[in-house]
């Protein structure tokens, strides 16, 4: 269970409620300075409970969204649904890779069992006269990053991965995706089985230029 008392997280503000323009928070900055994903195979129980998942996805949905289209949705896999999904996933895998050995097949069957909770983030782009597809996809990406940050702040370890299943038409059918929908990420949430270590990071200095007219 999360060390955070969900009751202390503000309820969803109502439209046009007055809000603080800034939230100076050293804790938030400390989290951002050290946040790190935990690989799915390192995850174990406990994961977030139903109330925590609901809160997590409410917070993750508070992202910039040009046109207020909410161009994303979530599919939650918990309990037996993870295994039931794996039982169907492995059939698709065997069709794609008939020569794969038993061990690999079993990996696919158990794929979602690596974490107590698995959440698929679905990008759903809708044709719009003013809002380009690109901006709708970016908005879904922002949701993904908030899932990482909010899960970490709730005390859970998490990884955002896609792997082959995010790009397979049969898996899309299994997920019951509609036209314009794509898997933006599959989020594995739980508790880290052991310590994690930092990965190589880009040097911001190499990525920043300052524009000038000359
Ligand atoms: C859209 C997206 C898809 C990803 N898919 C994979 C994947 O399939 N396999 C993988 O090993 N990492 C994948 N990653 C990277 C993992 O999230 C990886 O754990 C990440 O680089 C760790 O970075 P962090 O510690 O800053 O969160 C993906 C990342 C993103 C944003």
The model's pTM: 0.97
pLDDT tens by residue, 141-191: 999 999 999 999 999 999 999 999 999 999 999 999 999 999 999 999 999
- 161 Cα: distance to centroid of ligand 1 (angstroms): 5
pLDDT at 18 over 90: yes
The CATH architecture to which 37-77+116-194 belongs is: 3-Layer(aba) Sandwich (3.40)
Pocket of ligand 1 (CB under 6 A): 36-37, 148, 159-163, 185, 199
pLDDT at 35: 97
pLDDT at 1 over 90: no
DSSP E strand stretches across the chain: 43-44, 72-78, 117-124, 157-161, 181-192
Across 123-133, average pLDDT: 97
Across 184-211, average pLDDT: 95
pLDDT tens by residue, 61-72: 999 999 999 999
- 116 Cα: distance to centroid of ligand 1 (angstroms): 19
Q: What is the DSSP string of 23-53?
A: ---HHHHHHHHH-----GGGEES----HHHH
Q: Please choose, from the candidates 91, 93, 73, the residue with its C-alpha nearest in 3D space to the C-alpha of residue 178.
A: 73
pLDDT at 11 over 90: yes
Q: Please choose, from the candidates 53, 93, 94, the residue with its C-alpha nearest in 3D space to the C-alpha of residue 77.
A: 53
- 159 Cα: distance to centroid of ligand 1 (angstroms): 7
The backbone torsions φ and ψ at residue 207, rounded to the nearest 5 degrees and listed phi first, read: -110, -5
């Amino acid at each position: 269970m999360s060390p955070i008392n969900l009751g202390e997280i503000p309820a969803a503000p109502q439209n046009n409620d007055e809000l603080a323009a800034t939230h100076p928070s050293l804790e938030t900055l400390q989290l951002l300075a050290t946040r790190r994903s935990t690989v799915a195979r390192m995850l174990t129980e406990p994961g977030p409970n139903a109330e925590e998942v609901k809160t997590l996805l409410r917070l993750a949905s508070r992202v910039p969204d040009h046109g207020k289209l909410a161009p994303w949705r979530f599919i939650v896999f918990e309990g037996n649904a993870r295994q039931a999904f794996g039982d169907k996933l492995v059939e698709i895998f065997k069709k794609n890779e008939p020569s794969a050995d038993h061990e690999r097949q079993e990996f696919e069957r158990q794929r979602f069992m690596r974490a107590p909770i698995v959440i698929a983030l679905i990008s759903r782009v809708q044709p719009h006269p003013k809002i380009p597809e690109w901006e709708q996809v970016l908005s879904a990406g922002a949701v993904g990053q908030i899932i990482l940050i909010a899960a970490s702040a709730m005390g859970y370890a998490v990884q955002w991965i896609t792997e082959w299943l995010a790009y397979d038409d049969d898996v899309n059918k299994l997920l019951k995706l509609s036209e314009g929908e794509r898997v933006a990420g599959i989020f594995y949430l739980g508790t880290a089985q052991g310590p994690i270590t930092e990965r190589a990071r880009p040097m911001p200095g190499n990525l920043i230029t300052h524009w000038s007219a000359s």
